[in-house]
Structure 1
Amino acid sequence: MARKPRAHSAPTTASNAPKPTPGSDSPTPAALASAFATLGEEPPAPPLGFSARLNLLLDLAAVVPARIEGRVLGVLAINPAWKELEVRRWLQQDQLPDRAELRRLVKLLVAQLGPEHDALRWEAFLVYGSPIVGSPVEHLLYREDRGRRDIASRIFALLTEQYAIPPSSYDADLVFQRCLKLMQQFNIYEWEDFQAGHMEPFRSVLFPETS
């Protein structure tokens, strides 16, 4: 019996490519274009906590003074082309530098920390923060900084005395770690940085059951 010749289908082109059936989940090109245009209209979210994270990196790199006035001048000395106002905004107002400038600054600072630190990870952490990007030093945050651990101990003792919190009502190690992380978020690097206005926020986070 003679074989029937095999039918050859026409090559697929843009004009005859399969199209989503009505009701399918695949959006049309027009819908994608509309969604893309809408996204472009949304202003980028401010990088909350950027200044605290940048100050943390500056502290760890130990290349500029800790106090804000000396710190601004120290950062300006890295690149005299920067303006004092913009540097203050980086350090105090969560304003991002130009990304190319930020990358250069991060590379310079991370180079002071040792080969185990990655500049790209640090850059991502500075911009986005936790939990989007985990802290590059989370596992050793303040572990080797005896001074800050002493400050955390003083804050811990002050709160338990001020609010008469009994030792049996909390896990001391857990509260201590919460205190260290909160110090980072509030830019508390010296005992003088802890003010009366910090008492309630620290109490609510460290001892939420007493609030």
Structure 2
Amino acid sequence: MAEQSTADQVRRSAHERSPEELAGQFRQLAEENLPARLGFSARLNMLWDLAGVVPPQTEGRVLAVLGINSEWRESEVRKWLQKDVLPPPLDLRNMVSFLLAQMDEVQDVSRWEAFLVYGSPVVSSPVNASMYRQDQARREIASLIFAQLTDEYGIPPSAYDADKAFQRCLTLMHKFNIYELQDFQPGHLEPFRNYMFPVE
């Protein structure tokens, strides 16, 4: 009963205020710009990683994203991927729809949009176990290819940046449609070596 009485008092006090008072409160609370969505870029890059359609961030991701939609500007894409700046709503929707279309399982576009913007715990992560398993399987295959190349060509660890080479391997696996180890054929050795371990 006491709680109901308090709620009634709040409602009455709001109704009793003049339009000018309400307008003043609105102006006081209004923000000129949306606050930065901390972690947005990290979540967006994770979705690009899961979709596997562009290179890693260190291997020209921004330019690859621009190649998908020439109407986007480089400065905008860099802010989306690096500065926690949100794309316009329609761009975000189209981007998420495109990336989710690359995945094996049907995904909820609206849930992914909300997760990218607000993150956890406001919106629980839509990344499910099967998506993790799929990504883990790709990485295990990449590790085997990596080991085969370094052994085949006698490439010492001091001759390369392991993280960059590994990311390049994942990128090339996608380009050559290598999803199982048996997909990696002898003819792939040379192009993989040249791409993963370029002479600098």
Q: Which TM-score bucket, shorter chain as reference? A: 0.5 to 0.7
Measured in 2, the distance between the counterparts of 1:99 and 1:114 equals 25
Partner of 1:108: 98
- Match for 2:10 among 21, 25, 37? 25
The 3 A distance-change label for structure 1 pair 43 and 109 is same
TM-score by length of 2: 0.57
TM-score by length of 1: 0.54
- Match for 1:82 among 65, 72, 79? 72
The superposition leaves residues 120-170 of structure 1 with CA deviations (integer Å, 9 ceiling, x where unpaired) of 1111111111111111015556343327987xxxxxxxxxxxxxxxxxxxx
User: Aligned pair 1:130/2:120, yes or no?
Assistant: yes
Measured in 1, the distance between the counterparts of 2:107 and 2:62 equals 24
Partner of 1:192: 163
Structure 1 stretches of 4+ with a deviation exceeding 6 A read 147-150
Matched letter for residue 192 of structure 1: D
Partner of 2:36: 46
Determine helix, strand or coil for the equivalent of 2:132: coil
Unaligned runs of 5+ in 2: 1-7, 141-160, 165-200
**Contact 1:142–1:148 (8 Å) recurs in 2:** no
Q: Select the structure with the greater relative contact order (CA < 8 A; seq sep ≥ 6).
A: 2
* Count of matched residue pairs: 132
Matched letter for residue 109 of structure 1: L
**Contact 2:51–2:103 (8 Å) recurs in 1:** yes
User: Aligned pair 1:96/2:86, yes or no?
Assistant: yes
Query: RMSD between aligned alpha carbons?
Result: 2.8
The superposition leaves residues 79-124 of structure 1 with CA deviations (integer Å, 9 ceiling, x where unpaired) of 1121112111111111111111111111111111244311111111
The 3 A distance-change label for structure 1 pair 32 and 141 is farther
Measured in 1, the distance between the counterparts of 2:24 and 2:111 equals 33
Quick check: which one's helix share is greater? Answer: 2
**Contact 1:51–1:94 (8 Å) recurs in 2:** yes
Q: Which has the larger radius of gyration?
A: 1
- Identity over the aligned pairs, expressed in percent? 52
Measured in 2, the distance between the counterparts of 1:55 and 1:87 equals 11
Measured in 2, the distance between the counterparts of 1:101 and 1:45 equals 19
Measured in 1, the distance between the counterparts of 2:94 and 2:35 equals 23
- Match for 2:111 among 100, 111, 121? 121
Matched letter for residue 9 of structure 2: S
Shift in Å at residue 25 of structure 1? 1.7
The 3 A distance-change label for structure 1 pair 38 and 48 is same
